[in-house]
Amino acid sequence: MGRAKRMERVVALTKILVDHPQHLFSFSYFCKKFEVAKSTLSEDVLAVKTGLELFGLGKVETISGAAGGVRFIPGRRVEDDNKFLQELAVKLASPDRILAGGMLYVTDILCEPQTVVRLGEVFLNRLKHLAPDYVMTVETRGISLAFLVARAFNIPLVMARHDNYITEGPTVNINYVSGSRKNIRTMALPKRVLQPGSKVLIVDDVMKAGGTARGMVELAGEVGATVVGKAFLIETATPENKLIDDYTAFFRLYDVDEEARKVTIEPILG
Amino acid sequence: MGRAKRMERVVALTKILVDHPQHLFSFSYFCKKFEVAKSTLSEDVLAVKTGLELFGLGKVETISGAAGGVRFIPGRRVEDDNKFLQELAVKLASPDRILAGGMLYVTDILCEPQTVVRLGEVFLNRLKHLAPDYVMTVETRGISLAFLVARAFNIPLVMARHDNYITEGPTVNINYVSGSRKNIRTMALPKRVLQPGSKVLIVDDVMKAGGTARGMVELAGEVGATVVGKAFLIETATPENKLIDDYTAFFRLYDVDEEARKVTIEPILG
């Protein structure tokens, strides 16, 4: 391949950087890939940085020195995130989401790639100061969301299960009381997935009383990890007293009125 | 904001297109966003297309006419996909993945965002001719993979569960025989998630005898959908006779020898 033109290199550089959020690429990696000198690469990197920041599409960081390089940090403007959450609140409040027993159907939203990719960025934007090493969730419905949050942070996901599986190897198990349903459940985490001392961000789709989240905190503690944050897409307004504190939620669900066919849900803006 | 320079627009255009694989953006959307005439935008689009294709990072399609626009189609060169699969095979063959009972530990790989994003592209590259409307999987371990395949196709994920959940609304249920364990299990799919007549691509992480996959085919049929493809990250070499046919796998697992601490697994190259 002949040497590429500047515009072509900048397009490729943009694609590779945004595809690997948080990943630190060495300058020499790109110098070799594009067959250019470091001074030329620096200009290309600056072009990507300027273009992304001008349109509020994320940041590009360069780190100098031998261990340095360049990386892409996802994140839109706070006002763009807020607008997205407001639009999603309208969608969540649709009466056809009301299920028997006053439950709200949200699985479809958690299965839409575009929406969940965007949610991953919103979670990152609000929680990046926590600098977690892992995202942790429990099966099943929150997995897609937790995984895309992990993608935005570029850290692995750790999944707790409700049973032991032979395919997971040795596990640590706890029993916990599901806060809303008041029944006792088991939660298991493969022993090998978390390093002692690692920092964990708990992510789940819906938090009611917080029993499941408290179970995850306990499970992380059992393997010597530290929970640095707990984040939920939706928290319910009742019960008012939660079993956990210091958490972040992006929507508060006040009421699902089956009779009046009305959902009351508000975004929690940044 | 003043009008952006060409390089800045091209960077932003690249980011927006690659963030929304398969999504058809109208030309007027970008003309408005960048405050440029259609002729200028066409030149910008051509620059993105040339840059991405030169480095084998995907394609940009333009569709003319009133319903037309521009979209990004992920997909690397076949030789890049093969190289990725070969490298992953080495990782999968690591002896520390051997679990009691001759099982292979793969959950960590399914929880690494970078790897799974790349796998989503590899699945798309090999299966795009199927043009599915939905990706379908069954809980739990394959969800992250199935969701990133859905992201590459830009179509929703549909999740079957092993139980009925009040949060899913009315479900269609089937009983099936797990091919390898020979026990009878239940699989449930929310009635509302699949439209009759829609085309479904089944995705799962490991396929042994194919009993679970056959259950998913049956479940899709129950709601009037058509299975257009079945794709698995890993198939086991035994049993040789599978309960399904016409499937795609990306690795074949021949043997996990606990005694000799040796894993024999081969990538199935494109």
CA–CA dist B256, B234 (Å, integer): 13
**pLDDT number for residue A53:** 96
- Residue-wise pLDDT tens digits, B44-63: 999 999 999 999 999 999 99
B88 versus B195: which is more confidently predicted? B88
Domain ranges within chain B, ordered by starting residue: 6-73, 78-267
Given CB atoms, is A80 within the 8 Å cutoff of chain B?
Answer: no
Name the minimum distance, in Å, from the CA of B66 to any CA of chain A. Answer: 24
Of the candidates B15, B57, B107, the beta carbon closest to that of A190 is on B107
Chain-chain contact of A107 with B159 (C-beta, under 8 angstroms): yes
> Token pair for residue A29?
């990696």
Contacts of B159 in chain A (CB under 8 A): 107, 111, 140-141
Of the candidates B1, B18, B58, the beta carbon closest to that of A18 is on B18
ipTM computed for the complex: 0.94
- Residue-wise pLDDT tens digits, A6-60: 999 999 999 999 999 999 999 999 999 999 999 999 999 999 999 999 999 999 9
Contacts of B11 in chain A (CB under 8 A): 10-11, 14, 47-48, 50-52
Given CB atoms, is A22 within the 8 Å cutoff of chain B?
Answer: no
pLDDT at A1 over 50: no
pLDDT mean over A108-127: 96
CA–CA dist A37, B168 (Å, integer): 56
pLDDT mean over B131-160: 96
Contacts of B101 in chain A (CB under 8 A): 166
User: How far are the Cα atoms of A15, B83, B186 from residue B58, in angstroms, in the given order?
Assistant: 10, 16, 40
Which residue is closest to A17 within chain B, CA to CA? B15
A213 versus B169: which is more confidently predicted? A213
Does CATH place domain A78-267 in 3.40.50.1100? no
Mean pLDDT of chain B: 93
The CATH code of the domain at A6-73 is: 1.10.10.10
**pLDDT number for residue B264:** 98
Of the candidates A51, A117, A150, the beta carbon closest to that of B12 is on A51
Instruction: Provide the percentage of residues in chain A whose pLDDT is more than 70.
Output: 98
On the question of a common fold for B6-73 and B78-267, the answer reads no
A200 versus A2: which is more confidently predicted? A200
* Bridge partners, A255 (sequence order): A264
Given CB atoms, is B19 within the 8 Å cutoff of chain A?
Answer: yes
**pLDDT number for residue B3:** 65
CB crowding B207-230: b at 16 or more within 10 Å, else e? bbbbbbbbbbbebbeebebebbbb
Give the count of beta carbons closer than 10 Å to the beta carbon of residue B238.
Answer: 11
Looking only at the bridges linking them, the beta strands covering A226-236 and A199-207 are: parallel
- Residue-wise pLDDT tens digits, B177-221: 876 667 888 999 988 888 889 999 999 999 999 999 999 999 999
**pLDDT number for residue B180:** 64
A236 versus B102: which is more confidently predicted? A236
Chain-chain contact of B100 with A15 (C-beta, under 8 angstroms): no
